[in-house]
Structures are given as C-alpha cells and as structure tokens.
Chains A and B, each alone.
Chain A
C-alpha cells in the first residue's frame, strides 16, 4: 500500500518560518520549500499529467509563494494558501496549453497484445500498476480528480479540502463518493493486479 500520511507540522513552527522568510531569511524560505515541494509537485503532476510540466509549475508556484509572503496574514492555513496558488497555476497552465490527457483505454491496449510467453518481472508489474492508477486518476473530471488527489495523495482532511477548494465539506464528500465509484468502475477489470 503506497498511501502516505502527511505529517502534521506544528502551526507555530510554520508561522515562525513564514515570518522569517518575510524578513528575507532565505534559509527559512528553503525550509518551507522543502516542506511543501513534493506536495505541490504531486498536485501539479496529477493535474497536468506530465512530469516536466509539473516541475516547471513547481518553480512558478514557489516564486508566487515567495512574492506573496508579505501579504499573507495567517487568516487561512499556510497549506491552504499554497495549495490554492498551485491549483490556480495548474488551471492557468492547462488553459494556456490546452493539453489533452490520453485516456486509460489508449494506454492499456488490447488482449491481442498480451504475449503469454513473456512473464513480466515484479518491478515491471509495479511500474505498470502505478501507471494504470495514475492514468485512472487523470481520467477523472477535474472536480473529482481534485478531491481524490487532495485526499489520497496529499492526505488532507475533508475540512481542509473544502477550504482549499472553497466549497462545503458536504460537496467534498459527495465528490469523493462519485470519484471512488468511478475509480472502481474503471479499475474493476484490473483489480487482480491492484
């Protein structure tokens, strides 16, 4: 099971880092960057579907975070604020490029392609499984994909997701129900390898 649980960082610790980063303490900003880098990257990766694109967005997001720190007043949590910047940037990027995601069916191929004489090794199976899961998530509509990524990749609570997406917790629950049902429907034929 690859689910990762996000560690809860003390709010006071982050507040100190933010205040220090505001005073141009580059080490403090680097500490914030280290704390949020992978979270932002995964959000961008699942939103955009390309590793290199997500890396570029990662850089843009943290530049915006740095520029925005002087105006950040701790009214929302730092993570909420950073996730919103990241989501906004991802949506801007998609709009700019108009990139289309390749659907799962095109990736999986057909039964005729399976060669029973070639048994894949464990590493290859794991790679394929991650690939299939990743594509299944990206086949979801943006609204459903957002809640799935924020919940199962980023480990946010329902309330935290609601704050990031600016919707009611009930809406998050409803979307997650639909997303899980859709994932199950898409991946049901592959459940033996998942």
Chain B
C-alpha cells in the first residue's frame, strides 16, 4: 500500500545527503521503522544515491585559457557591455525599450561597427552581417516563413524577411536582439531575433530590410509570449 506521507518521502534524498536536521532525521527514521512501502522506496533511492556518488568528474583535455586571454587582449579596445545581477535560466524577457535607451543601443552598435572597421575586420562601406557560422551553413535547408505565419511553422531552421523595428541589448547577459516586422510604420505580427554572440554578428540597423536565418522557437512566459529566431545564424541586408 502506498504511503501518504509525501512530505517525509520527499526528504529521503536530503537524508541520504546529510542535509536534514537532527529532529528531521529522527522523524524519517521513525517512519521507516513503521512503513514497508517507504522502506522499499528508501532502499531504491539509497542504491541510486550510491551510484550517483560514483559519477565521474572530468578535466578538459585542452585548457582554453590561452584562447580566452587572446580574446581578452583583442577586446581591450572594445567598450564592455554592462551586465546586471544573476541572469535567469533562459526564459523570455520583457521586450520594451525607452526611446532614449534605444538611441544609446544604436550608439553601442555603431561603436562595435567602428571597432570592427578599425581592427580591419570590416572594410568601410562594407556591411558584414553574416557570422562566421554562416560560411558553414547550407542556407538551402532553411524554410522561408512569413512573419505572420510563424506560428504555423514546424520546421526548426527558418529564414524570415522583414524590417528591423527595434534593437536591444539585454542588460543581463549582453546578448543583442531585434524585432522583425512586416510593416515598420505600425503594430502587427513580429518575430524577436536573438543574436547570441554580438561580437561575431553585426546587428542590423533600425529600419533596414533584412533576411534573417536561424532556429525557430516559441517563447511562452507569464509576462509575454512570442515567436523567435533564436539564435540568429545569418543576416542578409536587402535594403538599408
């Protein structure tokens, strides 16, 4: 017969890991004396606990410190993006920016572009929008979707065309995102496009017509829900 003392059963792993107070330990042990069902469950968890204690730890074969240091040295002239307190586990974020902040974001984007030009990675007048990943992508595998039809899409890799209406820097993790719309003048269907690594992928300018390649995703949260291209893998600028 299944025991109804759910609150005590929940404490079994805590007991096994020594994280219960003395009084709680006694409660668990007293109950185990009386309940065959819980004894069986506890025995199972104890066996699992012993196996889990043997889970191996690994050390990386290559220590990437040299690469990290080289990247840090290369970034010395780039303005760091400020981050706030612990980033939440990947969830959606409220997408609302104030006009003054939007101008600041555009300024940061321009600064990044200027740095790229100064470093020789981007020639003046040239718009490098694709990432290094784009060179390795087979773009023919991306399914073309209209922004308004995104909710009917079931394919993981998509390409969507639209106007960039907002560009935002996420204050928590420094990632860039922009809104893709059919009509830049008014409200309507939109897709949020997330650039995971802004150093390697130049974000498009507000008002430009772009084609965005990436992974389709639905981000449904309590405070918002929308369709995304996340992460963006390539951007083609059709018209600035």
Where the two chains meet, the residues of A that have a C-beta atom closer than 8 Å to any C-beta of B are 1-4, 26, 29-30, 33, 37-38, 41-42, 45, 51, 54-56, 58-60, 62-64, 66-73, 75-76, 80-81, 84-85, 87-88, 91-92, 95-96, 98, 129-130, 133-134, 136-137, 148-149, 151-153, 157-158, 165-166, 170, 173-174, 176-177, 179-185, 187-188, 191, 194
Are B51 and A2 closer than 8 Å at their CB atoms?
Answer: no
For B68, give its contact among A33, A85, A151, A177 (CB under 8 Å): A33
* Chain B positions 78 through 113: 1 when the CB is less than 8 Å from some CB of chain A, otherwise 0: 001111111111100000000000000000000000
Complex: A66 Cα to B14 Cα, angstroms: 35
Whether B29 sits at the interface, judged by CB under 8 Å, is no
Dominant secondary structure of chain A at its interface with chain B: helix
Beyond the given A152-B53, A187-B48, please list 10 additional residue pairs across the A-B interface where CB-CB is below 8 A: A59-B68, A66-B68, A71-B85, A88-B89, A92-B231, A133-B54, A134-B55, A151-B17, A180-B48, A194-B54
In the complex, which residues of chain A have a beta carbon less than 8 angstroms from the beta carbon of B63? 37
Interface size class of B (residues with CB under 8 A): 35 or more
Q: In the bound complex, do residue B231 and residue A152 qualify as a contact, i.e. CB atoms below 8 Å apart?
A: no
B-side contacts of A62, CB under 8 Å:
64, 68
Q: In the complex, what's the smallest C-beta–C-beta distance from A123 to chain B, in angstroms?
A: 14
Instruction: Evaluate contact between B86 and A76: CB separation under 8 angstroms.
Output: yes
The answer to whether B80 touches A67, judged by C-beta atoms less than 8 angstroms apart, is yes
B41, B54, B65, B88: the one contacting A33 at CB < 8 Å is B65
Chain B residues within CB distance 8 Å of chain A = 9-14, 16-17, 19, 41, 44-45, 47-49, 51-65, 67-69, 71-72, 80-90, 156, 171, 173-174, 196-197, 215, 217, 230-231, 233
What chain B residues lie within 8 Å of A130 (beta carbons)?
A: 56
A181 touches B45 (CB 8 A): yes
Q: How far is the CA of A37 from the CA of B66 in the complex (A)?
A: 13
**Known contacts A42-B57, A85-B87, A133-B56: A157-B68 contact under CB 8 Å:** no
